[in-house]
Amino acid sequence: MRARLRLIERDDSLDSESGVRAAVQAHSGELYGFAFRALQDQGLAEDVVQETFVRAWRAGRRFDPSIASLRAWLFAILRNVIVDAARARSVRPGVASEVDVAIADNIDVLLQSWVVQEALRRLTDEHRHAVVEVYYQGRSAVDVAAASGVPAATIRSRLFYGLKALRLSLDELGWDDA
């Protein structure tokens, strides 16, 4: 799958039907999943993903693979479309909700959370366990080792390599830590 995504990004011809079709096939599932989690509305999530690809097709000549991957570029467009959709719902009487306002205000936090979850999912079970327990749960390597039945040095090693792999995954996902 990774080779297929890289091939699409090298082709980057979103101005052709085959290029758009390949981008939709490669990325629509992830985009829909994120849109649904953000909007909590199946129909609106489908509309938002469709609008994302329409905007990408219209702006296809502006895509520069040396700046970001196609996936990262599509998520940037998706973010804008979700904000627009949430704002549009919030101005219609009787349709707006506090959730819509929160989505518009916190879309960057939602997107960052999703990117970190996806990057963690790509780690091996052992590396993910070490990173989550030490960095997210605040446990020491010694405590994690005792609970896991492995030496503390093993947990520290898994943590070291897990963080390296996490950083690589975040880079692949277009993480911008600036």
CA 107 to chain centre: 12
Assigned fold of 124-178? Arc Repressor Mutant, subunit A (1.10.10)
Mean of the per-residue pLDDT values of the chain: 80
Q: Return the domain boundaries, the chain.
A: 2-121, 124-178
Instruction: Give the predicted TM-score (pTM) of the model.
Output: 0.54
Whether 94 and 111 have beta carbons less than 8 Å apart is answered as no
**Mean pLDDT of all residues in 10-27:** 75
What count of other Cβ atoms lies within 10 Å of the Cβ of residue 57?
16
Q: Give me the pLDDT at residue 15, please.
A: 67
Fold observed for domain 2-121: Rna Polymerase Sigma Factor; Chain: A (1.10.1740)
CA neighbours within 13 Å on the CB side: how many for 156? 5
Q: How far is CA 84 from CA 81, 118, 130, in A?
A: 5, 24, 39
Residue 125: what pLDDT? 94
pLDDT at 99 (0 to 100) = 55
Report the percent of the chain where pLDDT is more than 70: 79
Cβ neighbors of 47 (< 8 A, separation 6 or more) are 85
Is residue 11 very low, low, confident or very high in pLDDT (cuts 50, 70, 90)? very low
Burial class (CB in 10 A: 0-12, 13-18, 19+), 134: buried
User: Is the predicted pLDDT of residue 3 greater than 60, yes or no?
Assistant: no
pLDDT of res. 64: 80
Q: Give the tens place of pLDDT for each residue, 136-147.
A: 889 999 999 999
Q: What's the angle, vertex CA 168, arms to CA 176 and CA 148, rounded to 5?
A: 120
Interval 154-158 mean pLDDT? 94
Q: What is the DSSP letter of 93?
A: T
If DSSP codes are grouped into helix, strand and coil, which group holds residue 17? helix
| pLDDT over 60 at 148, yes or no | yes
